[in-house]
Amino acid sequence: MLVLVVIVVLVVSVGGSDGGKDESGGSGPSGTPSASAGKGRITKEMYDRVRTGMTEREVTAITGPCESSAEDEVAGVRGKVLTCRGAEAFSAATFTFSNGRLAAKGQVGLGGDAARKGSMTKEKYDRLRTGMSLAEALAVAGACEKDSDTDVAGSSATGYTCTSADGLGSASLVFADGKLAAKAQTGLE
């Protein structure tokens, strides 16, 4: 479970980088241009259509061109990270592949201004307890934006960011196999 939390944190932190174009040209599986080919900007709707287990070609058929921001092989496992520039200001998405299949995805800012203005408070944050189900935690937290998904070795983790009404404070929630596994906050009063 700790490995999943670390992977989710890494995916989310990489998500803020600024991407570009890759060599694929944004072509779909049949060689036809993808929905965003030439635009080079991923939207929240595109991000939501991408699922763990997809190949790089399937992902870029949805997202359009992305930049390969990291590639390595460790202990026989080939890893690759694609970074896609977002359609919103200060937004991006990352897609992490393991042996050719999407293992994790993360995004920052694709939800636009609406996602940056939530209802998280310190009081709500203090009521959140590890072990809560996703539904229980989100009922306490209020509006939160899903910002990462990871599926490694049969275990899954999902990250959410819950912002305060002023947009200055936020809480990060990580769910492993549907239960709240970790939480952190900054700027909540």
pLDDT digits over 86-99, tens only? 988 888 999 999 99
Task: Identify whether the C-beta of residue 157 lies closer than 8 Å to the C-beta of residue 174.
Answer: yes
Q: What's the pLDDT score for residue 95?
A: 96
Please tell me the distance from the alpha carbon of residue 127 to that of residue 125, in angstroms, as a whole number: 5
The percentage of the chain sitting over the pLDDT mark of 90, rounded to a whole number, equals: 57
Task: Identify whether the C-beta of residue 103 lies closer than 8 Å to the C-beta of residue 152.
Answer: yes
pLDDT digits over 18-69, tens only? 333 333 333 333 333 334 333 569 999 999 999 999 999 999 999 998 999 8
Walk me through the domains of the chain, giving residue ranges and CATH numbers: 2-108 (3.30.1450.10), 112-182 (3.30.1450.10)
Q: How many CB atoms lie within 10 A of CB 43?
A: 22
Q: What's the pLDDT score for residue 180?
A: 97
